[in-house]
Each structure stands twice: as structure tokens, then as C-alpha cells.
Structure 1
Amino acid sequence: MWQIWKGRNALIFNEENYEPSEIVNKALFDYHEYEDNLLTNHFTLCITDCPNDKNIVLVQDGIILFANASLHKERKMSSIGVTAMDSCGKLLQAFGVLFQFVGKVITAEALAIRESLEKAMENGWMRVQFLSDAKNVVDMILKRSIVSWEIETTCKDIWKLMGFLIM
């Protein structure tokens, strides 16, 4: 679903048209990457006692935060969106905001992740897991790659916030 949404946004905002097979291939790649990371890098627990049989693979009693950003070059605007779910899949909070154009997606994505962690702190959610479609930004935050000078200050803010949370 995520790749379909991204394909739609690419068409509307950037007039880029992707073939359905490209979207499916991107979705399969994302799934396999997620599956590989899930099985090799993280301890997970499937919660089975949630109402409505909504089972989310997540650390029990944790919060999952989804962060995303977009740029609209013609309108000179940036936007971020953050949603939070509990371990049973219940939506706890959704937040979106338009703000000044930041020029690059990497910057907007880092700001979205920082905002998601700030929301966690505001709500007292100490046990969190965050998700983002910006793999390059996530790799920099997790120190798997060299941090770009463009988001170095934002990464420092994120690292500080991560120190207060159980991730």
C-alpha cells in the first residue's frame, strides 16, 4: 500500500508516472528488506490478546511511530506527518503540518523523525519503535552510514531524544 501511495504522490506532485510493475517491485523489495531486518536484528513478540484480532509484530506494550515527509517544490512548501499506534494496532495520534520549504527531502525526513520522537516524549511514551521510508536518513541516525552535514544538527537532536526512550 505504501508504494502505491508514494506512486500517487509522485504523479500528483512531481508529474512522475511509474508503471504498476515498478510499484509492485518496490513493494516486494521493501517487504524483503523489512523481513530480513525483522528476523536478523530485532527481538519481536506477536501480541495475540488484542481486541478484534489485530496482531502487530512489536515489542509488547510499545508504541510504533510512523514518520514521513514530503516536498512540494512548485509551492515552496514542506510537510511532515506522524502517526502513533499501540501494540494492538489502535491509532493513538495522528499529526501533520505544513512548514517552510527546506529544499531537500533528507532534511524534511529527518525533521519528521525528530517530530515523532518529540511527540513520544510529550505523550509519555517511553517504549517506542519508529518507522520511516527514508532508509538513508534512518541509516545515518543509527550510525550505519556517515551523517550528512545537511542533517547533522537534527541527528544530534534525535540522538538526544533517543537517549530518553526505550527503543
Structure 2
Amino acid sequence: MSPEAKVAELIDKENRWKTEVIQQNFLKDDAEEILSIPLPRREMEDKVIWHYDKQGRYSVKSGYQVALKLKFSDPPSCSDSRGNNWGVIWKLNIPEKIKIFAWKAAKNILPTAGNLWKRKIIQEAQCKRCGEGMENTWHALISCKAAKKVWQSSALANAFQDMRSSDLLGELMRFQKILSRADIELLVTTLWVIWYARNKFVFESLKLDPNLLLAKAEAVNEAFSRTKAPNLLHGENLQKNKPNGWIPPPQGWMKINVDAATDKESKCSGLGVVIRDNQGKCMAAAIKKSKFTGDVSYVKAEAAEWGLCIAKEAGLKAVILETDSLEVADLINKRKASSAEIVWRVQEIQALKQDFSLFKVKHVSRSCNFCAHSLAKMALGRTHSDVWWGNFPPEILHVL
């Protein structure tokens, strides 16, 4: 056997060994996940559930992710380190179409002559406005003679004197450190009106005055700010009127607040339940430690089920169940469907509903569910469950 063949054989053996190690590690992790899958408490028909999807349904995307995990023990890192920097565009207070334009410009996917020529859509890549050089995104918006006339008349002219990079996103990030938010918004809108003027010339042979274009950019931003102001004010009023704390139920009802806290390292979860009347008086409190299956919504549904079990044992008839999990509330109210394991807990809750003459489920914010959340966190440090009726220990009284 030649030296080259021996080297090839050794490389092949090493690759096969690495593949086996990766598969063994994957199967080990997979076995742990399988053992942690919760089971329904009542007898049900068997059905196929894809455990790697939140809704329990197989998709090509989720299958591809599993295949990647099988092939690569460590997920590949993204080569684009700028992924978190797009907020410089998306967080601007300008029309959405201008944000999308700026994103396209930064990604260099505008239909410039250069891009169209590369795709063999047009015959030449030369700029039609100045006739000098290939028209790429940077040329069309910055370095073209027609674009320069706009920038020279702009209040932001000084900012462009030292622009040398063709990386538009990088330049916007640099301007973010030296310009105000309003200036950056005007800058991006000016880029948009320059592109607007470029299209008017290319498709309609119209030459627009640079001063009119700058006035248009300022008018667009000013008009958008005026139209957004009432909405922002309305949103502030809603925030002021929005309840920041627990609200008592109507007379004759009892309110059950439930929540769950998780500890991923110890793979356990804590459940908390608080039952109060229409005067705000706490009738019952409960904590319980449970197993964490890896799905936060599942353990929040488990907390909801346990809270209803306590209410049933107390003989309550009219109850309002509150949870800060929108998914759990929507599933119980049948606003959405799922095939994942959480459905088993929801089915138990649906069965428990029959034991109450009046029953409601509401989604509330964390601030309205503070006591139940505090009890759930307390449950993480316990080894057994406790239910208190009226006679509460000091640490529970402190939470309530």
C-alpha cells in the first residue's frame, strides 16, 4: 500500500470514529430527552408527536435542525457578526417602507444597474445619471454626481466628508455614535429620496431639484412624527390605565392565580397557587416541587391544573383562573391548538372545568401574578408540597 493510500485510510478511520462519537453523544442526549417526556395520566389513544417541535408537529425545518445536530456536535457559528446591529435601522422612527429600503441598501440588494447586469437582466452596468462607472448601491446613493449635489445642500454634508467605506451599515453604526437620532432618521430618509430621484430619472427621464428632495425628506419625517404622536400618546394612556397589580374578582367568585418557576440545572420546577376572594383576602396558598420537562409552558399548565384541583377539593363553584402564560390561556380557551405534550395537561384542565358551575381563564401580566410567581420560586427550595388554608406560616405571609 502506498503512503498516500495509508494516509487516506487513516483519515477515513478518523472520520468514521468522529461520526460514531457524535452519534453516540446525540443518542445519549436524545435518550435523556425521551426519558424526560411527560406521560398522560389517563388512558389515551397513541399518536405520533414530534418532540423537537413546540407544537408537536413534524416540519422540514425541525427535521433539518435535528439532522444538523446529528452531523455537527457543536452548532456552527454565524460568520456575520453584525446580526445584532440592524437595530440602527429597524428602531428608527421613520416609515416602514424607508426602513425596508435602508435594509436593502445595506444588504446591497437594490435593483441598481450593477446588480441587474450581474443577473443578466440588462446589457450594461453603467450609471445612467452621471455616465461614470458601474452603478452599485454606494454609487447610486453616495458617490454619483447627482447624489453628491443632494448631500452638498444637506445639513448633514459635514458628516459625509470622511465617508470612504462602501459598507452602509457600518457607516450608519459609526454615525450612531456622533449624530443624534433625528439626524440619522433624516440621513436615512435622504438616502431614500435620492433613490426616488434616481428612479424618476431612469424610468421617466425627470431631473428633480436637490433642494426639493431635501425638503421632501424633512417633510416625510415630520409628517410621520405627527401621525405617530397621537398613537404614542394613546399608548401611554393605555399604559397608565392598564392595571399594574392584582384585581379582585366579582362578588361570588374566587380568583386562582397560578405560576411556575424553573431551574434548568437541577431539572426541577416549582408551582405556586394563590386563591383569593372578592375582598382580596387570601383563602389558600400552595407550593409544590415538580419535574422540569424542558417546556416552560408545560409546567405553567401543570400549575394551572394543580390550582384547579385545590379549588375542587375546597368545593369552590365560581372561579377565575389567571396565568401569565398566553399559550396556556389560549389553549384552555381553545383559541389555538397543539399536538405537543402540553395538550395532556390542558385536557385534564378541560375535564376539571366540569366541576365548577362558573369558570373563566384569563391571561395577565407578571405584575398581576406576583404572589403566585413568588410562591413558585419558593417551591424550588422545598422537597415536598404544602397547601395552607387560612393559617399561613410567616414566610408565606411575607409573600402574600
Q: What range is the shorter-chain TM-score in?
A: 0.5 to 0.7
Q: Please point out which of 272, 281, 284 is paired with 1:93.
A: 284
Equivalent residue number for residue 158 of structure 1: 349
Q: Secondary structure at the match of 1:92?
A: strand
Q: What TM-score comes out, normalization by structure 2 length?
A: 0.28
Equivalent residue number for residue 275 of structure 2: 84
Letter in 1 for 2:287: G
Q: What is the CA distance between 1:106 and its match in structure 2? A: 1.0
Equivalent residue number for residue 31 of structure 2: none
Give 1 or 2 for the bigger CA radius of gyration. Answer: 2
Q: What is the CA distance between 1:148 and its match in structure 2? A: 4.1
Equivalent residue number for residue 105 of structure 1: 296
Q: What is the CA distance between 1:157 and its match in structure 2? A: 0.6
Report if the CA contact (8 A) 2:248-2:280 is conserved: no
Matches within 5 A, 1:6-85: 56-85=247-276
1:89 to 1:148, Cα distance in 2 relative to 1, 3 A: farther
Q: What is the CA distance between 1:57 and its match in structure 2? A: 4.5
CA distance in 2, matches of 1:109, 1:96: 13
Letter in 2 for 1:143: K
CA distance in 1, matches of 2:307, 2:343: 17
Q: Secondary structure at the match of 1:144?
A: coil
Equivalent residue number for residue 14 of structure 1: none
Matched, 1:129 2:320: yes
Q: Please point out which of 125, 140, 143 is paired with 2:334.
A: 143
More strand by share: 1
Deviation sequence 1:31-80 (CA, Å, 0-9, x none):
86x96xxxxxxxxxxxxxxxxxxxx5522121100000011101211111
Q: Secondary structure at the match of 1:149?
A: coil
Kindly report the root-mean-square deviation, in angstroms, between the aligned alpha carbons of the 2 structures: 2.5
Q: Secondary structure at the match of 2:348?
A: helix
Report if the CA contact (8 A) 1:68-1:113 is conserved: yes
CA distance in 1, matches of 2:256, 2:344: 21
CA distance in 2, matches of 1:130, 1:82: 10
CA distance in 2, matches of 1:66, 1:144: 20
CA distance in 1, matches of 2:301, 2:266: 21
CA distance in 2, matches of 1:150, 1:82: 22
Report if the CA contact (8 A) 1:71-1:104 is conserved: no
Report if the CA contact (8 A) 1:83-1:94 is conserved: yes
Report if the CA contact (8 A) 1:84-1:94 is conserved: yes
Question: Runs ≥4 in structure 1, deviation > 3 angstroms?
Answer: none
- Structure ranking higher on relative contact order (CA contacts 8 Å, 6+ apart): 1
Structure 1: state its 5+ residue gaps: 1-27, 36-55
Q: Across the two proteins, how many residue pairs are aligned to each other? A: 120
Q: Secondary structure at the match of 2:341?
A: helix
Q: What is the CA distance between 1:98 and its match in structure 2? A: 1.1
Percent identity over the alignment? 29
More helix by share: 2
Report if the CA contact (8 A) 1:141-1:147 is conserved: no
Q: What is the CA distance between 1:162 and its match in structure 2? A: 0.8
Report if the CA contact (8 A) 2:248-2:277 is conserved: no
